[in-house]
């Protein structure tokens, strides 16, 4: 039986055949899958959001369904519907696209709040209820939702309850000039995703999801994560900070990152590296701070600066502005 790290590296290498120059974004998507979480991919059109979801499904051998969210989409178009079968004289369930293992919710903010709420039970409890009957979702299960942060006309902002169910938020960004040339060369004859083959199985993904739970996290690391959460809740620019679900999300993501790096334990650097991707979309900035163009990235960075790192020397702390403060001997650290 292969080591979990070997399986994960093979998936990363396969997806990066299609998603060129975005290794960190691919790692984050795989981390979410390993943590049984969901991903919100927020970026401008044409940078590969949909292709990332398709590549992840193809590489893992998982079933894939795409839901194009529009204002006229109904909840039953997502979850499925019960139809009366005259032959058997009873209702039978016709599953919707949410019953796939990898679900792409394309332009999720274009659907009405009623339709968006159809995803809440599936994302939170991995089941869906139609006409009073609960249907379990397949394993593994992940929702990759996309939205355009530029165009807001005809869109509906995602409610806080739904945002909180996304483990990570990913921003792909434009490729570098060299990578953009490589993309054109790779697609000169055909799109690389057309020839992408599975390098593992859904059963191996489930084993990966179990393997990360064995990664050790010291009590000081857990306290560090909770301290960062409390810092977001007490930040002067934040109206609503990260929830306990955010604590667990950051904890699981750190375990997955440690496994990808070949470690059996979590370090404070894991927390720092994943804090913004895990917490940025969970913070509600106060109106007064929004007027001053305060963004989630600066808030998360400030919270990390305020919280002492486990194992740091006594007397070391940070001022509220994020700058190094003087120690008892008058020096700065």
Please give the chain's pLDDT, 333 residues, in tens.
Answer: 678 899 999 999 999 999 999 999 999 999 999 999 999 999 888 888 999 999 999 999 999 999 999 999 999 999 999 888 888 888 888 999 999 999 999 999 999 988 988 899 999 999 998 888 899 999 999 999 999 887 767 788 888 888 999 999 999 989 999 999 999 999 888 899 999 999 999 999 999 999 999 999 999 999 999 999 999 999 999 898 899 999 999 999 999 999 999 999 999 999 999 999 999 999 999 888 888 888 999 999 999 999 999 876 544 434 434 444 433 333 333
Q: Tell me, yes or no, whether 205 and 292 share the same domain.
A: no
Domain closes at, from 184, 211, 238: 211
- What CA–CA distance (Å, rounded) separates 185 from 196? 17
Q: Tell me, yes or no, whether 304 and 164 share the same domain.
A: no
Q: Is residue 51 within 8 Å of 190, Cβ to Cβ?
A: no
Q: Which residue has the tokens 């009873």?
A: 90
Domain closes at, from 211, 227, 248: 211
Q: Tell me, yes or no, whether 260 and 113 share the same domain.
A: no
Q: Whole domain around residue 220: which residue ranges?
A: 215-333
Q: Tell me, yes or no, whether 205 and 256 share the same domain.
A: no
The CATH number linked to 192 is 3.40.50.300
Helices and strands, number each (H, E), in the chain: 14, 11
Domain closes at, from 178, 211, 244: 211
Q: Tell me, yes or no, whether 241 and 309 share the same domain.
A: yes
Q: Quick one: pLDDT at residue 328?
A: 33
Q: Quick one: pLDDT at residue 318?
A: 41
Q: Tell me, yes or no, whether 198 and 260 share the same domain.
A: no
Instruction: Give every CB contact of residue 319 below 8 A, 6+ residues apart in sequence.
Output: 325
Q: Tell me, yes or no, whether 117 and 222 share the same domain.
A: no
Model pTM? 0.87
What's the chain's Rg over C-alpha atoms? 21
Q: Tell me, yes or no, whether 53 and 169 share the same domain.
A: yes
Which candidate, 22, 8, 12, places its Cα nearest to that of 179?
Answer: 22
Q: Tell me, yes or no, whether 36 and 172 share the same domain.
A: yes
């Amino acid at each position: 039986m292969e080591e979990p790290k070997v399986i994960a590296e093979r998936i990363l290498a396969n997806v990066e055949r299609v998603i060129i120059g975005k290794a960190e974004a691919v790692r984050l998507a795989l981390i979410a899958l390993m943590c049984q979480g969901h991903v919100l991919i927020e970026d401008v059109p044409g940078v590969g959001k949909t292709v990332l979801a398709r590549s992840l499904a193809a590489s893992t051998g998982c079933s894939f369904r795409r839901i194009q969210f529009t204002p006229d989409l109904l909840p039953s178009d997502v979850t499925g519907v019960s139809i009366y079968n005259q032959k058997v004289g009873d209702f039978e369930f016709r599953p919707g696209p949410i019953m796939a293992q990898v679900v792409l919710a394309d332009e999720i903010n274009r659907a009405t709040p009623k339709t968006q709420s159809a995803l809440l039970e599936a994302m939170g409890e991995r089941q869906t209820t139609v006409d009073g009957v609960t249907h379990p979702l397949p394993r593994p299960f992940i929702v990759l939702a996309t939205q355009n942060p530029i165009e807001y006309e005809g869109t509906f902002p995602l409610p806080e309850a739904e945002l909180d169910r996304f483990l990570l938020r990913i921003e792909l960004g434009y490729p570098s000039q060299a990578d953009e040339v490589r993309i054109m060369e790779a697609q000169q004859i055909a799109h690389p995703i057309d020839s992408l083959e599975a390098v593992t199985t859904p059963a191996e993904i489930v084993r990966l999801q179990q393997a990360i739970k064995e990664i050790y996290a010291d009590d000081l690391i857990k306290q560090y994560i909770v301290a960062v959460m409390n810092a977001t809740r007490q930040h002067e620019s934040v109206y609503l900070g990260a929830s306990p679900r955010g604590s667990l999300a950051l904890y699981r993501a750190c375990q997955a990152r440690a496994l990808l790096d070949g470690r059996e334990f979590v370090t404070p650097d894991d927390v720092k590296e994943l804090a913004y991707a895990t917490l940025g979309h969970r913070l509600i900035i106060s109106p007064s701070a929004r007027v001053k163009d305060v963004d989630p990235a600066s808030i998360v960075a400030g919270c990390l600066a305020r919280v002492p790192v486990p194992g740091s020397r006594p007397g070391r702390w940070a001022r509220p502005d994020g700058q190094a403060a003087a120690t008892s001997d008058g020096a700065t650290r």
